[in-house]
Structure 1
Amino acid sequence: WGYAKQAAKRGVEIHQLTEVQELVIENGTITAVKTNRGTLQCGCAVQAVAGMSSQMMKKAGIRSPIQTFPLQAMVTQPFKPFLDPLVSSSALHCYVQQTSRGEVVFGGGSDPYPLFNSRSTLDLKESLLAHAIEMFPFLANAKLMRQWAGITDMTPDYSPIMGLSPVKNYYLDAGWGTWGFKATPICGKTMAELVASGGKVPELITPFGLERFSTFQQVNEMGATAASH
């Protein structure tokens, strides 16, 4: 929300609860976006919709390599501060961290099958708890307060898709999977440069173009995190 507040202060309009229903494309160029609250004319558009990336690319008529997987996490009751860093185990496919309020958050790999579903499941809860307790045995006595799931957009090489698309002036920022929030600052900066330059792709994000999947120049990032995603 910090980013949203600062963006609003700088004149950015944020429309919550506004669903994109159709992309208006004329002669291969994006010209407008139809939503449940009206139509917005545009000279260009940036797609940054996380777990719904494949569905939005379908609306634009773009062939997508992205698959959508649920990702689950859970949180315990608060404890006195005991853990400063995030601890992640590549052997157990589990991470544990403590929030500023004292709660212990833990999660792991994404669900093993593509699905548009944000429901949490008992089988993942049991396996993830076993791994978290192996890392921190005292968690066996902790009270679990909440479990949730979100949907993630995964690419075959586990790297994002950034830059141009087959639709003119329709820019892509997708395929971040489960780690997009970590790269948000530099991602926002480079995508802003792309838009401001009228489509000149910054050198930093050139390797992440959509065309890499048709030219077999994938950027392998499977080892970027210690979880199975």
Structure 2
Amino acid sequence: MGGLWHSDGGAARHDAVAWGYAAQASRRGVEIHQRTEVEGFDVGGAKITRVRTNRGDISAGQVMIAVGGMNYDKAMKAGVELPIRCYPLQAMVTQPLKPWLHTLVSSVSLHTNLVQSSRGEIVIGGGSDPYQLYSTRSTLDMKEHLAEGAVHLIPFLHGVRLLRQWAGTTDMTADYSPIMGASPLSNLWLDCGWGTWGFKATPVADKYMAQTIANQKVAPILEPFTMERFATFDLLNEMGATAASH
């Protein structure tokens, strides 16, 4: 009564999915360099000529920036300022419990969502923090807020212990929609501004970004997501896409 039911919805372990993508990419010949930080770009003739990292330089053919909460910072190293602001997003888990929660429960009014992991932990999340920050330190006020929301939804969790809490950084655009496609530099491509929900759209976004880079032309389906929409005020209305932070 008064709620929404998504019968074929589900939850997936983000880390397991990321490692799955990495494993398949590696098998198909993609080189993955861990612990390699991009420190800057050499730009000449309106294009990137070299990527500078802490482990050496890489001659650039085509470059894509898709680094979550660090998109703004990395793009600035190439002289491109993105219309993005970054906010922390926190979550926490309880001690393991016997399986009982077989769906995801989310409250828009409480900004709290709960799901039980395969290990029995209750994963509790909510909206992003209300201030811009690059810090990934967890905070007491968000812990209290999420705990209050969780107990309000599921009262018997009152005596359950918390195991751990963590934070990440999300990159938000003004219309809560991503930026995908070209940049002011001819060989620099953007896939950023996903905020709190890029994980779910990764398969189709990757498909059309790969097509865009291979053809050197933005795929028609991605054209509405151009960065220029913020200059022309041709914004997208995606605020109903998720209840996580908006």
Q: Structure 1 residue 42: deviation in Å?
A: 1.6
Q: Structure 1 residue 87: deviation in Å?
A: 1.3
C-alpha distance in structure 1 between counterparts of 2:184 and 2:157, whole Å: 50
Q: Could you list the per-position Cα deviations for residues 12-47 of structure 1 after superposition, in whole angstroms to 9, with x for gaps in the alignment?
A: 000001000011111101121000000001211010
Q: Which amino acid aligns with 2:57?
A: T
Q: TM-score, normalised by structure 2?
A: 0.90
SS at match of 2:228: helix
C-alpha distance in structure 2 between counterparts of 1:62 and 1:85, whole Å: 42
C-alpha distance in structure 2 between counterparts of 1:85 and 1:175, whole Å: 28
1:216 corresponds to: 233
2:12 corresponds to: none
C-alpha distance in structure 1 between counterparts of 2:28 and 2:245, whole Å: 39
Q: Structure 1 residue 59: deviation in Å?
A: 0.9
1:60 corresponds to: 78
Q: Could you list the per-position Cα deviations for residues 92-147 of structure 1 after superposition, in whole angstroms to 9, with x for gaps in the alignment?
A: 11111111111110111111000010000001111110011111111111110000
C-alpha distance in structure 2 between counterparts of 1:37 and 1:146, whole Å: 33
The alignment-based identity, stated in percent, is 58
Residues 19-30 of structure 1: pairs in structure 2 closer than 5 A: 19-30=37-48
C-alpha distance in structure 1 between counterparts of 2:40 and 2:235, whole Å: 30
The answer as to 2:196 corresponding to 1:178 is yes
SS at match of 1:153: strand
Structure 2: runs of 5 or more not aligned: 1-18
1:227 corresponds to: 244
Q: Which amino acid aligns with 1:129?
A: A
- Cα contact 1:95–1:106 (8 A) shared by 2: yes
C-alpha distance in structure 2 between counterparts of 1:196 and 1:80, whole Å: 48
Q: Which amino acid aligns with 1:211?
A: E
- Note the aligned Cα RMSD (angstroms): 0.9
2:15 corresponds to: none
2:36 corresponds to: 18
- Cα contact 1:24–1:33 (8 A) shared by 2: yes
C-alpha distance in structure 1 between counterparts of 2:173 and 2:65, whole Å: 16
Q: Which amino acid aligns with 1:191?
A: M
Q: TM-score, normalised by structure 1?
A: 0.97
1:50 corresponds to: 68
Q: Which amino acid aligns with 1:61?
A: G
Residues 115-134 of structure 1: pairs in structure 2 closer than 5 A: 115-134=133-152
For residue 146 of structure 1, the aligned residue among 145, 152, 164 is 164
Structure 1: runs of 5 or more not aligned: none
- Cα contact 1:31–1:44 (8 A) shared by 2: no
- Cα contact 2:64–2:188 (8 A) shared by 1: yes
C-alpha distance in structure 2 between counterparts of 1:134 and 1:203, whole Å: 45
Residues 30-49 of structure 1: pairs in structure 2 closer than 5 A: 30-49=48-67
